[in-house]
Amino acid sequence: NAGVTQTPKFRVLKTGQSMTLLCAQDMNHEYMYWYRQDPGMGLRLIHYSVGEGTTAKGEVPDGYNVSRLKKQNFLLGLESAAPSQTSVYFCASRGRAEAFFGQGTRLTVV
Amino acid sequence: DQQVKQNSPSLSVQEGRISILNCDYTNSMFDYFLWYKKYPAEGPTFLISISSIKDKNEDGRFTVFLNKSAKHLSLHIVPSQPGDSAVYFCAAKSLIYSGGSNYKLTFGKGTLLTVNP
């Protein structure tokens, strides 16, 4: 029972580099979300998707792009990484009520 | 504008005693509330929830109370165990846009619970 799987678990980027974080869920959920967690800030919503082919901005979308080409996958892209994007990123998917989270990706931008 | 507030960054209790974690909210459109538990280096895991039409929900050692008039909810853990030591997030569900049908979860900043043996 995989649930929500995030790839990679850790990454170090240099400023200006790009990367894509992958989120995969096997629960056939329509909703998927990307959050970032920073010390003292809780979980803040970056982007979300309400179904295959749809994406929308959350609270802190700047510097990120997303795509949902397949229902089970939700990709988060950083085109030009900045030190302010150093964070732990969590993907979540949701059915009717509660959301299920992946184990997180710890990203450091130097 | 923080719509979900957990004003206590940390809480320390003795094993066997009650842990009470508090959460306040400002948005009256929230219709469903959830508590998540998070261990270090893991994703948050769902713990317990409550609909806005109820004032109490119980699941084993965990009980969530909702006071709508005060816009306050609390999570009670009885008895507390060392394995309960984690960060607890309060979350609230609301429509993303008024009149729409898509929902989002808004999280508080979390409370670090430490249960001492």
Q: Does A58 sit within 8 Å of B43, measured CB to CB?
A: no
Least confident of A35-39, B13-17, B30-34, B94-98: B94-98
Could you give the CA distance from residue A84 to residue A110 in angstroms, rounded to a whole number?
10
CB contact set of B89 (below 8 Å; sequence gap of 6+): A42, A43, B6, B35, B36, B37, B38, B44, B107, B108, B110
CA dist list (Å): B25 to A34, B94, B108: 22, 12, 9
User: Per-residue confidence at A4, pLDDT binned at 50, 70, 90?
Assistant: very high
Whose tokens are 């974690």? That residue is: B21
How far is residue B101's CA from residue B99's CA, in Å, rounded to a whole number? 7
Show the tokens assigned to B91: 């979350």
pLDDT tens digits along B22-68: 999 998 888 899 999 999 989 999 999 999 999 999 999 999 999 99
Query: What does the buried/exposed string (b/e) look like for A45-83 if buried means 16 or more CB atoms within 10 Å of the residue's CB?
Result: bbbbbbeeeebeebebbeebebebeebbbbbbebeebee
Q: Show which of residues 10-69 on chain A sit within 8 Å of chain B, judged by CB atoms.
A: 31, 33, 35, 40-45, 48, 50, 56, 58
For A59-96, the pLDDT digits (tens) are 899 999 999 999 999 999 999 999 999 999 999 998 87
Among chain B, residues having any CB pair with chain A shorter than 8 Å are 4, 6, 9, 32, 34, 36, 41-46, 49, 89, 93, 96, 102-110
Band of residue B97 on the pLDDT scale cut at 50, 70, 90: low
Contact criterion met (CB < 8 Å) for A101 and B44 = yes
Asked whether the beta carbons of B18 and B67 are under 8 A apart, the reply is: no
Lowest mean pLDDT among A60-64, A99-103, B12-16, B96-100: B96-100
